[in-house]
Amino acid sequence: MRDVIVAANWKMHTTPADAGELAVTIASRTVAAGVTRVICPPFVALAAVRDALVASEAGSDVGVGAQTVHHELAGAFTGEISATMLAGLATWVIVGHSERRRDAGETDALIGRKLGRAIDAGLRPILCVGEQLAEREAGAAIPIVDAQVRGALAEVDLAAAARASLVIAYEPVWAIGTGRNARGADAAAMADAIRVSLSAVGWPDGAADVPILYGGSVTSANIGEFLAEPAIDGALVGGASLKPDEMAGIVARAGLTARARTTQR
């Protein structure tokens, strides 16, 4: 049975002075059996969040993740962070987020190199894929996402990626901060398509075991629609992840999904 995962992407919010307290507050409000929780703060707050969670009874099992990673292990890359630098600070990493694709010009090939570095360093990766509005309106959503999956995995050792327990987050870019909402059926159809893509590139033992998260303006009000879909295994939460009340509602709903899946075993 696939993991049920709720990952918080804090983006460029919080400071080392306040991130630890927020992480502990969220951890204490989101205890739910069967739900894997991950908090991804800015690089400068990784140590503060790690230390605060370790010292907290409620946060000791909350994972800490980085929001990106460089595609090289070392070198003249001012301002960048390598996978080896994250050792001890994080155990998860987001790769290929739509904002990195947009703002940093990250290509599928580059994302694939980042993915490989993360896997080699023992980090559990969350690979983000998703289409733009014009691509969806043109009926090209599935081919676009298929190309992103194939491009990112083209040079990656698939057996190693499977051992690293790769997670994929589907984030329809057109539903992020636009006021337009994706539907649960949209996300489920894309999750099915992503698993077809993984199987087509030779994912070990098929792709039924790969968790797929939904990420697109997730809130406590809409998460139920997505988690009602058996193909969806959790959420990559953006703005709402900075709000303890919102996270409490999201994780509580994820807990219902985890409980139902345990009962069905």
Catalytic sites, residue numbers: 97, 171
What is the 3-class SS of the chain, one letter each residue?
CCCEEEEEECCCCCCHHHHHHHHHHHHHHCCCCCEEEEEECCHHHHHHHHHHHHCCCCCCCCEEEECCCCCCCCCCCCCCCCCHHHCCCCCEEEECCHHHHHHCCCCHHHHHHHHHHHHHCCCEEEEEECCCHHHHHCCCHHHHHHHHHHHHHCCCCHHHHHHCCCEEEECCHHHCCCCCCCCHHHHHHHHHHHHHHHHHCCCCCCCCCCCEEECCCCCCCCHHHHHCCCCCCEEEECHHHHCHHHHHHHHHHHHHHHHHHHHHC
For residue 248, the Cα-to-chain-centroid distance in whole angstroms is 18
At residue 101, what is the residue type? R
